[in-house]
């Protein structure tokens, strides 16, 4: 089962029973707030779920977007109408890198039928999909969060993975190389990690690349179907799109997904004991 759903496939799904729960998770590190975008227009029936307060715990030593507590996450998903048997579709502004966080968390929590809208809100509008400003109030869902459905790594495990397998850094190249660091305490990357910018998973219009293209891209980064592979980014959000992209490419499966380092660079850079590599080489 592909983790992506097209706008036309979503329209068909919305006409069936049970209709999917729709989660709007638009967010941008530099703004504007996703709630403003949602209030301006969203898919009919979509519930806004806030990355900062619902899909992450408060920032701290564990990074800028640590994994939320199970109770917090369950409350957010239930308030959005998420049921155990009902499919869920998550969308963001366009490229899926933030929607992948919602997808990953639902899978981590034990939901089996989760999709990311390919091209997000922009693709929906481009293909003539209806939008609204009406805020829905769905019946509370019954979904029970059972953490552990997706593998994670702490800092030590991520460091080992960078040496024994392939650890992919989803940040832009200049941040990986240490040329620019706009938000975290130090610049650079985890020694041994390979740069795999999340923005390169999609084409210029925000649609995901074909599985064959993604597989070729990952092969060029040293990933095979048998390697141990993991991902991190600045705060554990965009790296979720690497996990999704590996599955879409056929290099990982729902039964054996890639590992996520949730603390990511924001945790690593805040710990003076951890070394930082700079430059284009893995180090």
Indicate the pLDDT class of residue 238, thresholds 50, 70 and 90: very high
Of 127, 144, 165, the residue at which a domain comes to its end is: 127
* 58 and 164 housed in the same domain: no
| pLDDT score for 121 | 97
Buried b (16+ CB within 10 A) or exposed e, 218-247: beeeebeeebebbbbbbbbbbbbbbbbbbb
119, 167: one domain: no
Q: Residues 15-40: pLDDT tens digits?
A: 988 899 999 999 988 778 899 999 99
- 207 secondary structure, DSSP code: P
177 with 105, same domain: the answer is: no
Say if residue 221 is in the same domain as residue 112.
Answer: no
Asked if 240 is an active-site residue, the reply is no
- Residues 107 and 161 grouped into a single domain: no
Average pLDDT, the chain: 96
pTM, two decimal places: 0.96
Of the candidates 127, 145, 178, which is a domain's last residue? 127
In angstroms, how far is the first alpha carbon of the chain from the final one?
36
The total domain count for the chain is 2
In eight-state DSSP terms, residue 263 is S
Q: What is the CATH number of the domain that holds 97?
A: 3.40.250.10
Q: What is the pLDDT of residues 36-72, one digit of tens each?
A: 999 999 999 999 999 999 999 999 999 999 999 999 9
* 220 and 265 co-located in one domain: yes
What range defines the domain where residue 120 resides?
4-127
Question: Are 69 and 174 in the same domain?
Answer: no
User: Which band of pLDDT confidence, cut at 50, 70 and 90, is reported for residue 237?
Assistant: very high
Do 179 and 109 share a domain, yes or no?
A: no
Please pick, among 55, 233, 244, 258, the residue that the annotation labels catalytic. 233
pLDDT band at residue 249 under the 50/70/90 scheme: very high
């Amino acid at each position: 089962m592909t983790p992506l759903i097209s706008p036309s496939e979503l329209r068909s799904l919305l006409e069936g029973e049970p209709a999917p729960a729709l989660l709007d998770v638009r967010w941008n590190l530099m703004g504007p707030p996703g709630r403003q975008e949602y209030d301006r227009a969203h898919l009919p029936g979509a519930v806004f779920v806030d990355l900062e307060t619902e899909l992450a715990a408060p920032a701290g030593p564990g990074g800028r977007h640590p994994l939320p507590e199970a109770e917090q996450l369950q409350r957010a998903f239930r308030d959005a109408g998420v049921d155990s048997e009902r499919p869920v579709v998550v969308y963001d502004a366009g490229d899926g890198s933030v929607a992948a966080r919602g997808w990953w968390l639902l899978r981590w929590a034990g939901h089996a039928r989760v999709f990311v809208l390919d091209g997000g809100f922009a693709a929906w509008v481009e293909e003539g999909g209806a939008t609204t400003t009406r805020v829905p109030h769905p019946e509370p869902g019954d979904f029970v969060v059972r953490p552990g459905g997706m593998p994670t790594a702490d800092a030590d495990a991520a460091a080992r993975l960078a040496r024994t397998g392939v650890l992919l850094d989803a940040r832009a190249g200049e941040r990986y190389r240490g040329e620019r660091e706009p938000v975290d305490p130090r610049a650079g990357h985890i020694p041994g990690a390979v740069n795999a910018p999340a923005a390169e998973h999609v084409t210029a219009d925000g649609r995901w690349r074909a599985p064959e293209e993604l597989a070729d891209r990952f092969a060029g980064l040293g990933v095979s179907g048998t390697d141990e592979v993991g991902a991190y980014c600045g705060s554990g959000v965009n790296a979720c799109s690497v996990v999704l992209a590996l599955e879409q490419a056929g290099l990982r499966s729902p039964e054996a997904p890639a590992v996520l380092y949730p603390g990511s660079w924001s945790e690593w850079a805040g710990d003076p004991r951890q070394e930082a590599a700079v430059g284009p080489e893995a180090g």
